Amino acid sequence: VGRFKIIESTLREGEQFANAYFDTETKIKIAKALDDFGVDYIELTSPAASEQSRRDCEAICKLGLKAKILTHVRCDMRDAKIAVETGVDGLDVVIGTSSFLREHSHGKDMAYIEKTAIEVIEYIKSKGLEVRFSSEDSFRSDLVDLLSLYRAVDKVGVHRVGIADTVGCASPRQVYDLVRTLRGVVSCDIETHFHDDTGCSIANAYCALEAGATHIDTSVLGIGERNGITPLGGLMARMVVTSPEYVKGKYKLHKLKELEDLVAEAVEINTPFNNPITGFCAFTHKAGIHAKAILNNPSTYEILNPADFGLTRYVHFASRLTGWNAVKTRVGQLGLEMTDDQVKEVTAKIKALADVRPIAIDDADSIIRSFHLNLHEGPI
Ligand code: HCA
Ligand code: CU
């Protein structure tokens, strides 16, 4: 589980997000930010998709980034031929294997898929590039068909095989079982790709790693087709708890917020309130009991340390749930001095007002300030 690689697909899967339109300059900015963050691979839209996509792919290859550059193509010689000329380090090749996609999308049978896959893989390898072969809609594909296809591509030396939960139907246990089974069948690396339709994309990525997967596909904020895929930040949150040294040593976690802000702005969305790590209240503690414990020792109610991400925690002190420990801290932040009994008294005033209406930080601050003033000057 500990060591894993990220295939960052904001510039491929993310371009399939409803709001996404990335001009060349934006793509370059995002690619540089991803590289700086430390992702292992950056996956780009197929150069066969459009002429501009092809040019952008070439431009990003020329940036000389540390991350390896991949492009994502259909399992088709025509696409592969265009892609190998762009300067990428490797190709992610994909074809639908479920009966849904075989019958309603490309119309090919498994024998044809296997023959074409081998031809395309051998061609890409002959050009000295890295190649991954993946089945779209893996979880609704016939298991026996799938495993014999993967065995065949493993034999011809594919670098990675991919499992894709294209429709977001898989549960963590199903993921574990399929990846575990596949682990026993192929010797190459295993990449996984999870859509979030049923809210399992992070859990599924984690279970895939537990079962022996080596590479996880992500996008910034999870943007992608429909409601998207495993978000980079959410995966970081999960994995920094599991493998703190590896994750902190490898990725510049303090750059996460900047990276997310860049992408959020590019696709004109706000970071969701409940986003792991960067949601506005991800490190806000409110109830009196929580606040007291957090002020004593943050580990009581925090599994992530905001400082690891260059962020700070916030102890709420302006609600009817507020306790006097939070107010005491605020009094200190305001540079005022009060005895504990006085803090308790002013806390009661804050709570009394907060019982009548929602109050802002400024309201609570001015209650504290005028209470403090009265202590010294006496009531007017
Ligand atoms: C799609 C393709 C894909 C490919 C995943 C992969 C999927 O349907 O747009 O290459 O592993 O979700 O199946 O994103
Ligand atoms: Cu996808």
Query: In this predicted structure, what is the pLDDT of residue 105?
Result: 79
Q: Ligand 1, atom 1: nearest CA belongs to which residue?
A: 166
Q: Ligand 1, atom 4: nearest CA belongs to which residue?
A: 136
- Cβ atoms of 216 and 5 within 8 Å: the answer is yes
- The percentage of residues in the chain with a pLDDT greater than 90, rounded to a whole number, is 94
Please tell me what DSSP assigns to residue 272: P
Rounded (5°) CA angle 79-45-258: 160
SS3 88: coil
Nearest ligand 1 atom to alpha carbon 225 = 9
- pLDDT of 168-200, one tens digit each? 999 999 999 999 999 999 999 999 999 999 999
379 pLDDT band, cuts 50/70/90, is: low
- pLDDT of 56-110, one tens digit each? 999 999 999 999 999 999 999 999 999 999 999 999 999 988 887 777 777 888 8
- pLDDT of 123-157, one tens digit each? 999 999 999 999 999 999 999 999 999 999 999 99
Centre of ligand 1 to C-alpha 164, Å, is 6
**Burial class of residue 199 (count of CB atoms within 10 Å of its CB; 0-12, 13-18, 19+):** exposed
Q: Which residue has the higher pLDDT, 104 or 374?
A: 374
- The percentage of residues in the chain with a pLDDT greater than 70, rounded to a whole number, is 99
Query: In this predicted structure, what is the pLDDT of residue 98?
Result: 85
Residues with CB under 6 A from ligand 1: 13, 16, 72, 92, 94, 134, 136, 162, 164, 166, 193, 195, 225
- Annotated catalytic, 376? no
Centre of ligand 2 to C-alpha 166, Å, is 5
Q: Is the dihedral of CA 19, 23, 29, 32 positive or negative?
A: positive
> In the structure, how many helices (H) and strands (E) does the chain have?
15, 10
The pTM is what? 0.94
Choose, from 159, 290, 316, 372, the residue flagged as catalytic. Answer: 290
Mean pLDDT, the chain, whole residue set: 96
Asked whether residue 2 carries a pLDDT value surpassing 90, the answer given is no
Helix (H) or strand (E) holding 65: none
- pLDDT of 334-344, one tens digit each? 999 999 999 99
Asked whether residue 380 carries a pLDDT value surpassing 70, the answer given is no
